[in-house]
Amino acid sequence: MKARKLIASCAVAALMAGALYTGAYCAVYSKTFTQPSDFSSGIIDRVECNSIMGGLTLCKAVNCVPYLWIPSPCGGTVSKVEARTGHELARYAMGPKESDWTPCAVATDNEGNAYIACGSQGTGKIVKIRASAPSGLLQPADRTSFDFNGNGSIDQAEVLPWGQDSRVSLYAEIGDKGSQPSSLVFDENGYLWVGLWGEHSIVKVDLASKTVLATVPLVGRPDTMLVGPKGFLWVLSRDSNTLYKVNPLIGTVDTSYNLGSSNLRAMCLGDDGVIWIASSEGLISFEISSGSFMIVKPMDDGGFSGVAMDKNGDVWAASPVKNEIFKYSPTDVTEKTFITVGKTPTAISVDEDGYIWTLNSGEASATRVDPRTNRVSMKAQICEGASCNTPFAADILKRGISPIGSWKTLLNSNIPGAGWGTITWETANYGGQVKVQARSADLPTQIENQEYVDVSNGQQMNVPNGRYLEVKVTLTSTGDSTPILRGLKVNGRNLPPDVSHATPSTDRITKVDHTFEPVSITGVKDPEGDPVTITITGVTQDEPVMGLSVDDKWPDAKGIGTSIVLLRGECDFGNSQKSGNGRVYKVTFKATDALGASSIGSVKVTVPITLHYDDVAVDDGQKYDATQTPEERIAKNN
């Protein structure tokens, strides 16, 4: 659109105004963004003006990437699966080829390193899997398992033998022969606690020295652990049907609770101080403050094998016999839904993005469920016989590119009801995509109430007219690369003159003497304030051009193609059989602004019979061309 302002410049959270003059006329609004300084003044979110790459790019970032660490006790391996794609990235051998090391639980530290509890006939083994390099790329010194052929799963040839994978090492040997580590958890002070199933105890391990700092004996065998309120450890024992509360600072059992239910299998920490426990009899709710518990959801056919709470507070429980997971309300434990996930779901966990994952040991798969839609959103192929006594979903902080970012700016045309035309942009697509959207309104406060409209490069925007236009550019990456927005140009749309308030210079010809009255068109305005040229294109009337009286003259209008029309002051006064009611002219015109945009309008001018102030002419229908001569009319009819 045209504007009388300075060329627009962006300001964070500020309005933009622009003006371009071309002599006496206004130019169509135009604003170009090419330099880093152009983009830097907009509102940016996880993008930057990169002078080296020559445009607007996504920022470097440390991203929280969700992963699954999946032990396979029967295969003696641990799989690393990217939760957002379902691709198995690596598979690590746990122990020498002929060993009996059995991975059964996993815990990750703050750096993303994974620690695996492995049982064996000898001492308990804790294996460490080092996290990926910060860049996510293999370093020269690395020789590690990865998806070499890129098929999304790890073949046996892609698993390196024990001792040859640079990221896998025996971290510590714990306990005596037959100690059978069964579970792992990091406490609030960063110490690793290991459940020794064969020794009826849990031990506190210092990562730096790899030494045992404390041993807490239990009556039952520890099967799984979690950290609860105030840093206390909670240990679940299947064989003794007992839940232990352990003080990690002094290394003693604070309290033990016999739950009286058989085959306690898994637990998770819920909201409001509740521990949810999956058992063969159903779902148990344990209230930490009072120590009271009850089976709140009995389940026949084998009960539940896993339990987890999603980020909305709903409780999910896995039924290995029914091949389903159930979603319950945490307040009254009403069943919200159930979903078939795969054969024999034995464990359940929630990833960093909030998705529900189950390990289906009966079909070598992991299923992802979207808790918002209660539907299966992904199924990943994993190693056979997968199971885990602890939550298997974790995350790693990874240096890379922000996955998504945006830049937006608000343009002010200074013209109410201004028109907006096109947005054109240039990109370099090294990975990802650039999406441009816009919305408009006459007031900045109204902008927020408008929906963004997608814009096609160089195509007319489908936004309403308005003084302000907000442009939003969203950059999305794929992998570790970013798209580059090299330049962007916003073009206004020249609106035609407004003829809705057009009026004739005189709407009433008062001298009926057969002479011409000059009439011009007034009240036409250009939205951008440009000069407007009026061209008369036609005149019609509701009375015949000739034959009304002996003094009748013709044509009754002149001035087609000019800006002033001449209208004849005459009308039919009637006779004894029919009274006259005056004449009505309709003048049609074209209004054109300085940039060529035009509108068609019309006005009416009357010739009343008398000069009385309240005498009006009645329009009987515009049937006659007022500019025709008798000869022209005859030629047309012939």
Tokens of 371: 């808790």
pLDDT at site 132: 65
- Where in the chain do CATH 2.60.120 domains reside? 2-59+402-493
The CATH class for the domain spanning 503-637 reads mainly beta
Residues 6 or more apart whose Cβ sits within 8 Å of residue 591: 496, 497, 499, 502, 521, 524, 532, 533, 534, 598, 599, 600, 601
- Where in the chain do CATH 2.60.40 domains reside? 503-637
Domain 62-400: assigned CATH number? 2.130.10.10
Mean per-residue pLDDT pooled into runs of 10, the chain (638 residues): 31 29 58 86 87 86 81 91 91 90 91 90 91 52 82 90 92 89 93 95 92 94 94 94 95 94 88 92 94 88 91 94 94 93 93 92 92 93 82 74 91 91 89 93 91 96 95 88 92 93 95 94 91 96 85 92 96 85 96 93 94 85 90 68
Dihedral of CA atoms 605, 610, 615, 616 in degrees, nearest 10, equals -30
Assign 11 to helix, strand or coil. strand
Measured CA angle at 43 (ends 38, 46), to 5 deg: 105
The CATH class for the domain spanning 2-59+402-493 reads mainly beta
The model's pTM is 0.59
H/E element holding 309?
Answer: strand 306-309
Neighbours of 272 (CB within 10 A): 10
Assign 207 to helix, strand or coil. coil
pLDDT at site 39: 85
pLDDT at site 629: 81
- Where in the chain do CATH 2.130.10.10 domains reside? 62-400
pLDDT at site 24: 45
